[in-house]
Amino acid sequence: MASVGIRDVRKSFGATPIIHGVNIDIQDGEFVILVGPSGCGKSTLLRMIAGLENITAGDIMIGDRVVNNVPPKERDIAMVFQNYALYPHMTVADNMAFSMKLRGAPKDEIKTRVDKAAKILSLSPLLERYPRQLSGGQRQRVAMGRAIVRDPQVFLFDEPLSNLDAKLRVQMRTEIKELHQRLKTTTVYVTHDQIEAMTMADKIVVMHDGIVEQIGAPLELYDRPANLFVAGFIGSPAMNFIKGKIDGSGFHAESGFNLPIAGAPAGSSGKSAVYGLRPEAIRLDGAGLEARVHVVEPMGSETQVVADIGGQNITCVFRERIQAKPGEVIRVSPDAKLTHLFDGDSGKRMAA
């Protein structure tokens, strides 16, 4: 196991810069998830750690060793690919044993390690099958088995769950997390799915257009997003944004209504700002704002309502089962303690 350091790393394909100076510190044994929309450079960064892409500038370190020019096989890492990249002409056992076979490990050692990994992943009955004879989830597990057998310093996962159906994805999410808790191997995991990031990571790195927007623990990102991008990206359903300006100790929306804030930052009165309101920070309140219901989506455990407040669609999530019908008016008010304020120009979080 080892820590991973990424120091001011840049990457250009030809003249097009893709990654503009990224700094990330990954502790030994940590589960770090790189998350961001497609094209943000997260997969490229992962492939640079693996050694499948060159580094244009900066340093990548595994342990205390700068690995910029170390070939992939000497970096002591294992990677799980999005399409699994299982060798179709090898059985499950041969797939998992391949790297050790290349290294010339003794036969019985290979067998012990493969059997052990197969047991961890409950693949034992499938060892003699070929990849084509497996289901998606089983292939996924074989790909992980191939990584485990090598007992590497770092696991790299490149969107490993995106080819699975929704139910299996939830199940594999738990399995991967359990596996990490059991093996405690440093893990770097790339996904575009913020729910995967929130549920699995020790630390999330939010990337956007080749830069790191914010690094932090899942709930830290959720509770104190550093800017509008992170605020909008993390959380489902997404945060509501209302444009307007700070007015004394309250917030005056462009469309004419007033919203409460926990406390105006000093000297901010009159400044334009964006009011961030998570759907679950909205309560039913007989004395609150008028909201005309558009859509009601009952989920069982909660009810999601899209309603029009002052001409803007606001998504609300209520724990109560409300019986409102489209077109009806309900009264709601935000929980001032759970609101966020962002600078109207820079989009950065305004300290309360």
Residues at the contact surface with other proteins, assessed by CB under 8 A: 50-52, 72-73, 77-79, 81-90, 98-99, 102-103, 130-133, 139, 146, 150
Nearer to other proteins, 102 or 266 (CB): 102
- For other proteins, the closer CB: 150 or 340: 150
**Min dist. Cβ of residue 98 to other proteins (A):** 5
- Minimum gap (Å) between residue 85 Cβ and other proteins: 4
* Smallest gap from residue 155 Cβ to other proteins (A): 11
CB of 326 to other proteins, least distance (A): 38
CB closer to other proteins out of 135 and 272: 135
Residue (140 or 268) nearer to other proteins, CB: 140
Kindly tell me which of 52 and 217 has the beta carbon lying closer to other proteins: 52
Check the CA dihedral 76-203-230-267 and report its sign: negative
What span, in angstroms and rounded, lies between the C-alpha atoms of 114 and 152?
14
CA–CA separation, 190 and 43 (whole Å): 6
Taking the C-alpha atoms of residue 134 and residue 142, their distance in angstroms, rounded to an integer, is 9
Min dist. Cβ of residue 232 to other proteins (A): 32
- Supply the DSSP symbol for 126: G
Are the beta carbons of 36 and 42 closer than 8 angstroms? yes
CB of 129 to other proteins, least distance (A): 9
Q: Is the dihedral of CA 215, 221, 224, 227 positive or negative?
A: positive
Measured from the Cβ of residue 117, the count of other Cβ atoms closer than 10 Å reads 23
DSSP H helix total and E strand total for the chain: 8, 19
Q: Decide: 297 and 304 in contact? Cβ < 8 Å.
A: yes
- Closer CB to other proteins, 147 or 277, in the complex: 147
In sequence order, the 6+-apart residues with CB closer than 8 A to the CB of 273 are 244, 245, 246, 251, 341, 342, 343, 344, 350
CB of 130 to other proteins, least distance (A): 4
Output the six-digit token pair for 233: 């990206």
- CB nearer to other proteins: give 88 or 286: 88
H helices within the chain, ranges in order?
Answer: 42-50, 92-102, 107-120, 136-149, 166-183, 194-200, 218-223, 228-233
DSSP β-bridge partners for residue 6: 24, 60
Q: How far apart are CA 170 and CA 294, in angstroms?
A: 31
Comparing CA positions, the residue from 187, 159, 196, 179 lying closest to residue 27 is 187
Tell me how far, at minimum, the Cβ of 153 lies from other proteins, in Å: 13
Smallest gap from Cβ 113 to other proteins, in A, equals 14
* C-beta of residue 294 within 8 angstroms of C-beta of residue 326: yes
Q: By C-beta, is 66 or 85 nearer to other proteins?
A: 85
8 or 87, CB closer to other proteins? 87
Count, residues in the chain: 352
